[in-house]
Amino acid sequence: MPSTAEPDALSAGAKRGRPGYDQDSVLNVAVQVFNKHGYDATSMGLLAENLGISKSAIYHHVPSKGDLLRLALDQALVPLEAISEHERARTGTAEERLEFFLRSTIRVLIERQPYVTLLLRLRGNTEIERTALERRRAVDRKVADLVVEAQREGTLREDIDPRTTTRLLFGTINSMVEWFRPDGPAGAQQVEDNAITMMLDGLHTRNL
């Protein structure tokens, strides 16, 4: 869908003498084509067609389809990995840090929706995919550790299995890439609050 990649006269690509696209715009289109057709089924020819430029013009921006995938996955993984570097991920109770982690993950997912979609649909067929999946698992493990820590400090209930709970937390959050619409009736903040309320406090009024 080339219409979403706005030509930008001040872009790096333009400065380098290729008007119409910079690397971010190419990525923006590439991730949509990957998500629509699947990475394996996407050829450089199909990408060129969607960008409305020649294959050789794509190679001006990136050396290969694998590099496009790596750069697109970084758009999801770098902000996800940055969560644990934040001060609020390092101070306070495990319960507070867990809530910060979950809220931050939801925000990255909403802000980088197509890139996180790409990450979540990876099958691990190539080395680039396997490396990305390993980085994703490292992020997931931080949340799993916080669930155990919060159970130990007594803020999270003991009658739950931490491993299953971590899967359920990510299941709830990750589903958003499939149904959240930026122009839908429920805004990003409302969806974030609603998800946190359900996961941590439950839907029953008897918990109020």
Binding site for a copy of itself (CB under 8 A): 38, 41, 95, 154-161, 163-165, 167-176, 178-179, 185-186, 190-191, 194-195, 197-208
Minimum CB distance to a copy of itself, residue 32 (Å): 15
> Nearer Cβ to a copy of itself, position 56 or 207?
207
DSSP letters of 44-67?
HHHHHHHHTS-HHHHHHH-S-HHH
Minimum CB distance to a copy of itself, residue 188 (Å): 11
> Nearer Cβ to a copy of itself, position 6 or 161?
161
The DSSP symbol for 20 reads T
> Nearer Cβ to a copy of itself, position 5 or 102?
102
> Cα-flanking dihedrals φ and ψ of residue 13, to 5°?
-60, -45
Note whether 43 and 58 are within 8 A (CB): no
- Residue corresponding to tokens 């931490």: 162
**How far, rounded to the nearest angstrom, does the alpha carbon of residue 172 sit from its chain's CA centroid?**
14
> Nearer Cβ to a copy of itself, position 45 or 187?
187
> Nearer Cβ to a copy of itself, position 64 or 197?
197
Minimum CB distance to a copy of itself, residue 186 (Å): 5
Minimum CB distance to a copy of itself, residue 15 (Å): 39
Q: CA-CA-CA-CA torsion for 184, 187, 192, 194, nearest 10 degrees?
A: -80
Gap between the Cα atoms of 62 and 70, Å rounded: 11
CB atoms within 10 A of CB 19: 13
Minimum CB distance to a copy of itself, residue 54 (Å): 28
